[in-house]
Amino acid sequence: MSEAKSEILMFQVGPRVFAAEVYDVIRIGSVHDVPPEDVVGATALGVPFARRRGIVVGDHAAGTERALAVDQVIGIRSVPETDVHPLPAFAAACLQSAAVTGFVLVDDSPTLLIDLPTLVREGPAAPADAERT
Amino acid sequence: MPGPREQQADAQGGGGRAATPPEAWFFCLRILGGRYAFEAPLVTEVVRLGPLTRLPAAPSFLPGVFTHRGEVLPVLDISQLVGHSAVAIRPSTRAAIVHCGPWKVAVVSDAVEGLVAIPRRALEPPPAESTGVAEFMSAVARDRAGAIAILDLPRMVEAARARAVPAGSAPA
């Protein structure tokens, strides 16, 4: 019997690696291929060092596409659904961003699972938030 | 005169009466250079902290999460909650996993002392101060090892949650 799997996109912003559902991604490209006003740089995840790549996601509320600037797209991992965990209730109640939805255990280490449409909708993080990341 | 069996039944709450044992059990941690304790039944286990995964946009008292037996647990730093410096997290750092209402958190500490029994008559009212950690004290006591501050941990955890700006209400 085959185990149910989730397709996870791994990407890096600043010094940290994050994960997101592949389903949410429309395409990946250079940030220079996207109009500057549609590029989201600083978010709750922090500020990318170099803004090399853009992960394009749909902003369903606005009916547009926006690109999250990242330093590196690491690749796609197929992980068992049993390795995908929701955010602990207390952490969810304390975070200032609704874009952090849970964790994926990658090599037994929890990697933050990010809801990309929510992240680009939230837009730039307040300076204090970015400092904490 | 009741015999020994009746006395034992009374002590265990027999006959419909809720007996209050003469001692209260607390779980004691060393934080902020002092001894702090909370109701022992809140604690389910003591664990060594694994590598922390830090959370973006998290308040300072929530330094991260770690995995324990496949479960992801949030870490609560009481010291930072009351405005002091962070508990130093090392490979040897231990945390008490506690259930406070709907919340399950790992309370990080400088050292774990363990269970202490304190006679109820030895529990005294907390200081009248309403700042810092005193805000969350429910009693103070003293045993052979020294003074202990008894914390109202459920209130403390709830205050932590309330002080954090919940997701969805952050400024745009």
| CATH number for position B95 | 2.40.50.180
Q: Give A112's contacts (C-beta < 8 A, 6+ positions apart).
A: A16, A18, A19, A100, A102, A103, B53, B55, B56
Distance CA B155, CA B109 (A): 18
pLDDT digits (tens), chain B, 172 positions: 444 444 444 444 444 556 777 889 999 999 888 899 999 999 999 999 888 889 988 999 999 998 888 788 999 999 888 888 888 888 888 999 999 989 999 999 999 999 999 998 989 888 877 777 888 898 999 988 899 999 999 999 998 988 886 555 544 3
The answer to whether A133 and A45 are in contact (CB under 8 A) is yes
Q: Which residues face B143 on adjacent strands?
A: B146
Three-state DSSP class for residue A23: helix
Neighbours of B56 (CB within 10 A): 24
Q: B118 vs B25, B98, B109, B147, B149, CA distance in Å?
A: 6, 20, 21, 11, 12
Which of chain B's residues have a Cβ under 8 Å away from the Cβ of A19? Answer: none
Written as tens digits, the pLDDT of chain A (133 aa) is 567 888 999 999 999 999 999 998 999 988 888 888 889 988 999 999 987 899 999 877 667 889 999 999 999 999 999 889 999 999 999 998 899 999 998 877 789 999 999 999 887 655 444 434 3
CB contact under 8 A, A90 and B72: no
- Provide the number of structural domains found in chain A: 1
What is the token pair recorded at A93?
């109640």
**Cβ proximity of A10 and A17 under 8 Å:** yes
Q: Which domain holds residue A122?
A: 5-132
Q: Is residue B122 part of a domain?
A: yes
Residue B16 inside a domain? The answer is: no
Q: What pTM does this model have?
A: 0.81
- Which candidate from B58, B76, B102 shows the least CB-CB separation from A95? B58
Q: Domain range for residue B87?
A: 22-163
Q: What is the total count of domains within chain B?
A: 1
Cα angle A120-A106-B97, degrees, rounded to a multiple of 5? 95
Per-residue pLDDT reduced to its tens digit, A92-113? 999 988 999 999 988 777 899 9
Write the ipTM.
0.78
CB atoms near residue B163 (< 10 Å): 11
- CB of B160 within 8 A of CB of B130? no
Q: Which residues in chain B have their CB less than 8 angstroms from residue A109's CB?
A: 51, 53, 67
Residue type, A111: T
Subunit contact B65:A92, Cβ cutoff 8 A: no
Q: Does A96 touch chain B if contact means CB atoms closer than 8 Å?
A: yes
- Residue A62 near chain B (CB below 8 Å): no
Q: What is the CATH number of the domain that holds A124?
A: 2.30.30.40
User: What residues contact B160, with CB distance under 8 A and at least 6 apart?
Assistant: A94, B59, B61, B62, B76, B81
- Residue B61 near residue B76 (C-beta atoms within 8 A): yes
Q: Does A61 touch chain B (CB under 8 A)?
A: no
Residues in chain B: 172
Cβ-proximal residues to A27 (8 Å cutoff; 6+ apart), any chain: A56
